[in-house]
Structure 1
């Protein structure tokens, strides 16, 4: 994507939701400056399970009706892009860490939906096109952030990782929480904007805006593949502010 004033390509998804005052504040305050690029990243694939994707081929409402947490078409559209990221990471020897719900701790969690009792443990499996390979790590978590009450910090330290590249779902939930916790640790975080998604279009757009403004850098799949492959020079900037 290019900057919003370039009429040859679509504007960033959040632009439709911003007021004129929002745009001016962003401009005068300087939000969205590019951060450092990690030299030894880890690829985090957040919650790419059947519970969060839902039935393939279903529209958004039908998917949510079938599985309360499903994101439907947005999820399945992201699957091939995430597969590209995973393939690039494995080819380059970059560690791949998946997250999903920690089944043992789910019963104690708070839920904000009226359908929480419907959860099926079988839905907690990673979707088949993105299935973990030997050597990949699958972390269980009970809260949105991949860092919360997991051993992710220790794993990153053991790997000598100096940053994370994040794909998966949801943009406004677990992706955002993970990116904010990476920021809290002074850990560079790149969010792959076309490989994250949400069940709500507005939440997705404004989560990306907020992440880009304050906590992370947004890149597209092509740029992330280049970075995973060690080609830092060809990626000069992030997506539009």
Structure 2
């Protein structure tokens, strides 16, 4: 079977790792990581959650900027027109599922924002923070791949960041949308990588900047 996208040059050019990385952690809130909640505990999301914890441990040790977020609203009146009942019912400031999971969040280190749309960059100040930190490469982690990861990756691309998505640090409710969206992002906007490769890139960046 021929790949018409490849024939038309999609995905031919690698984005690559730039001069300074930053990491965005999208929506690892208790709503997604605690199985007691309607959206919680999806296997691919939990795999991504565990791998992101490993990534952040190294990143914080080496001084890599980290921005993390949850999605929460005052009430339904403030919300966009979500089509997901569980989001409308639980993504509220006063709901116990709204906070970022403490296992992935260091309040003394991470920039934490509350986002109102799918992208961590939309009206949040994350891009301003990365500008001050001279970040040129954004590593995207979190959930869900077909929703907020896709939106955050598109905004990262639009802000002219080199965008890298470690496949095993993002997750979704179902495997097929996870694969489909990573395939499409990888054809156009981002390098789809993995935890091991990204850790090696951060290690190499750290060594180059400590001599």
Secondary structure of 1:161's match?
A: coil
Q: Residues of 2 paired with 1:118 and 1:131: CA distance?
A: 24
1:191 aligns with 2:161: no
Q: Give the deviation of 1:96 after TM superposition.
A: 1.2
Q: Residues of 2 paired with 1:200 and 1:71: CA distance?
A: 12
| Per-residue Cα deviation, 1:120-164 (whole angstroms, up to 9, x for no partner) | 621122223213241211111010011111111211111111121
| Per-residue Cα deviation, 1:49-71 (whole angstroms, up to 9, x for no partner) | 1112231xxxxxxxxxx533335
Q: Give the deviation of 1:183 after TM superposition.
A: 1.2
Q: Residues of 2 paired with 1:220 and 1:148: CA distance?
A: 25
Taking structure 1 as reference, are residues 102 and 212 closer, same or farther at Cα in structure 2, changes over 3 Å only? same
TM-score by length of 1: 0.77
Answer yes or no: is the 8 Å Cα contact 2:46–2:171 preserved in 1.
no
| Per-residue Cα deviation, 1:146-201 (whole angstroms, up to 9, x for no partner) | 11111112111111111211111110111110111111122111001111000122
Q: Residues of 1 paired with 2:75 and 2:116: CA distance?
A: 6
Q: Residues of 2 paired with 1:107 and 1:48: CA distance?
A: 24
1:29 aligns with 2:16: no
Count of matched residue pairs: 202
- Aligned-pair Cα RMSD in Å: 2.1
Answer with 129-138 or 139-148: which moved more.
129-138
Secondary structure of 1:124's match?
A: coil
Q: Give the deviation of 1:74 after TM superposition.
A: 1.7
1:84 aligns with 2:54: yes
Q: Residues of 2 paired with 1:105 and 1:218: CA distance?
A: 36
Unaligned runs of 5+ in 1: 1-19, 56-65, 234-241
Q: Residues of 2 paired with 1:83 and 1:130: CA distance?
A: 6
Which residue does 2:38 correspond to in 1? 68
Unaligned runs of 5+ in 2: none
TM-score by length of 2: 0.87
Answer yes or no: is the 8 Å Cα contact 2:76–2:88 preserved in 1.
no
Answer yes or no: is the 8 Å Cα contact 1:79–1:129 preserved in 2.
no
